[in-house]
Amino acid sequence: MATEVITPKIVAPKIYDTLILSDLHLGADMSRAREALRVLRENQYRRLILLGDIFADLNFGRLKKEHWKFLGFIRKLSNPKRNVEVVWVEGNHDHGLAPIMSHLVGVRVYQEYQWHYQGLRHTAVHGHQFDGFVVSNVHVSYLFGTLLYLQLQKWDSKNKTVTRFLDRLGTRWQRLSTKVADGALAHARRHQVARVFCGHTHAAMHKHERGIDYFNCGAWVDALPTYITVGEEGVQIHEYIERSGDFHPGEERNDFEPADFAGEAELLEDSEYEGVGR
């Protein structure tokens, strides 16, 4: 009796149209740059949108080794041979970095970025534009929202419990998630957009209103970082799953000189990019 040979089905890897992450805050002690880099390496996508506040502030002296590695990956990913469109949308913490970023990592910086997918118009804007306090109090926001926040992280415990609590408390107290969502939805209606994506609030969120979908992709300074994908299955908010060996804020790090950036980018092997953008 002949034995039937069953050939296993080969499942094609999932390729997203777009992957979005925001609020990495490179230079801050709480930045989860190592984990964010892992997400970018392990997924396949045709477009990457860095949706603002990728830096904590303009002081590059705060950047650590894993922060420079993240930038090295972005620079190599932006090479046209990779077939990935890399988009940087400016956030309030990134303000003034457009010329630097264009030169440093070879990507164009936008105030707002629009694209079409599956017949729908999409737009990505950081979201601080809908935060009245930040818009009206730029200097106060920088002093207390950036410098004091960065210093507090250094005083905080290993797990940054106090800083994270204050971050969440500030978002709730200002009703920031609601304000940004409402502002983004109104902006989308004016510009006939079907899906609008923001960051800024550090809180992942989805809201549907009058035929328009608003998504917030959360942040990479939280204990539960999140990111967004847009693909054939629609828009999905993903929560990063902790792995053994992940960096936890408060651990010792080795400083990494900016002068080493060029060499570090070249150390990334092509195998790390296999399938990305295909």
Tell me what pLDDT residue 144 has. 44
Cα–chain center distance at 204? 12
- Mean pLDDT, contiguous 10-residue spans, the chain (278 residues): 60 85 90 95 97 82 90 93 94 76 82 96 95 51 48 52 52 72 97 96 95 96 92 96 65 47 44 41
Residue type for position 223: A
> Using CA atoms, how far apart are residues 179 and 181, in angstroms rounded to an integer?
6
Cα–chain center distance at 29? 16
State which residues form the domain around 67.
15-267
Two tokens, residue 250 = 């408060």
Does residue 107 form part of some domain? yes
Does residue 10 form part of some domain? no
Domain count for the chain:
1
pLDDT in tens, 134-178: 544 444 444 444 545 555 545 454 555 555 545 554 555 456 899
Does residue 272 form part of some domain? no
Tell me what pLDDT residue 149 has. 54
> Using CA atoms, how far apart are residues 83 and 86, in angstroms rounded to an integer?
9
Does residue 275 form part of some domain? no
CB 112 within 8 A of CB 199: no
pLDDT in tens, 7-42: 665 555 689 999 999 999 998 888 999 999 999 999
Tell me what pLDDT residue 131 has. 85
Does residue 274 form part of some domain? no
Tell me what pLDDT residue 9 has. 58
Tell me what pLDDT residue 268 has. 41
CB 198 within 8 A of CB 9: no
Please return the burial class of 224, using the count of CB atoms within 10 Å of its CB with bins 0-12, 13-18 and 19+: exposed
Does residue 198 form part of some domain? yes
Residues 168-196 as b/e (b if ≥16 CB within 10 A, e otherwise) read eeebeebebbebbbebbbebbeeeebbbb
Does residue 8 form part of some domain? no
Tell me what pLDDT residue 10 has. 58
C-alpha neighbours within 13 Å on the C-beta side of residue 202: 23
CATH number at residue 63: 3.60.21.10
